[in-house]
Copies of this chain bind each other. A is one copy, B any other.
Amino acid sequence: MEALTIHEAAETTGWTPRMLRYIERIGLIEPARTEAGYRQYGPGELQRLRTLRELLADHEIGLGDVAFALRLRRDEALSGAVDSWLEAEPQRPEAVSADEWLRWEQEKHARIIAALTTNETMETAA
């Protein structure tokens, strides 16, 4: 037995079954199904459910925010348009310089490549 039912998954992750269905509906975690349609939560899903709670709590964001970030990642027309709009932002005194920001972007790029190639469980930067 590898996969847990929705109630078992709720138990071990601290969510309610209701919320697991909601998290699925907004596209964040979509578990496999049995032939009869029962949801099956595997180790990967359980881990992601736990880290999702941390993510929300640590940064005071909501499920809708994470869903929007996912949408940004999947819809390149959207992310391009939002990026364009934000990039046109006038320089504010306390904002980072273009240089600093570009360096940050490059480091982020390196992180993404690393994540793609190693592809293990993510480091939960608690």
Q: A interface vs B, CB < 8 Å?
A: 30, 44-45, 47-48, 51-52, 55, 58-59, 61, 65-66, 68-70, 72-90, 92, 95, 98, 102, 104-106, 108-109, 111-113, 115-116, 121-125
Contact = CB atoms under 8 A, between A and B. Distances in A.
Contacts of A65: 68
Contacts of A95: 74
* Copies of the polypeptide in the assembly: 2
Most B-side CB within 10 Å, residue of A45, A47, A88: A88
B125 A81 contact: yes
Given A72-B69, A104-B76, A113-B102, A123 B88 contact: no
Contact of A52 (B85, B105, B108, B122): B85
